[in-house]
Amino acid sequence: MKLRILFVALLVTVTALTGGAARGPVGPDVGWPTQACVKGTMEPMELEFQLRLTGDLSCGMANPPGRWGIARFIPGLAFGEVAELYDYAPFAPTTYSLTKSVPWNGTGYLCLVSDPNTRLACVSVKAQSWVIVSTAVVPVDHPGVSLPIVHSPRGVEPPTCGTCW
């Protein structure tokens, strides 16, 4: 059995400033209220079978209307998917810490998004049999995150994976 260090820390901060937020292709109506934010950070931390993402979003106002999410771009899907939406904090900035499983083989991508067209920060995640091999920060305009984003509340992961991205 392959031995892995439980906490392999790869802490990288990506901050997309006003000119850095990428506008992606417009996806179908995603059914979530949005607030255009232009600054966000994402720090990945590899755990043996899960990935923790921490960071913040700054939208220029306290308790902005709308919701935000993490879009996943996984091998075999022709779109990016946001399965869960989160409320902004009552006072700016909104901070988050999310830990979930990576249900894919190969390289997938995760992006912090404030709406279906705005990627604020992105990482690539290489996994093999649900074990994370590596993570790396990628630009918000990376080809791997350029697909349209849809909101799919139930997600397309296996129904047995309630803790997957």
Domains of the chain, residue spans? 7-151
pLDDT in tens, 40-96: 999 999 887 789 999 998 877 766 677 899 999 988 888 998 888 888 888 778 899
Handedness of CA 84, 165, 34, 27 (dihedral sign): negative
Strands 67-73 and 106-115 turn out to be antiparallel
Check: CB of residue 91 under 8 Å from CB of residue 62.
Answer: yes
Full-model pTM: 0.75
Over residues 142-152, the mean pLDDT reads 91
**Contact, 99 vs 18, CB < 8 A?**
no
pLDDT digits (tens, 9 = 90+) for 152-165: 776 555 444 556 66
pLDDT tens-digit map of 97-139 = 999 888 888 999 999 998 888 999 999 999 888 789 999 999 9
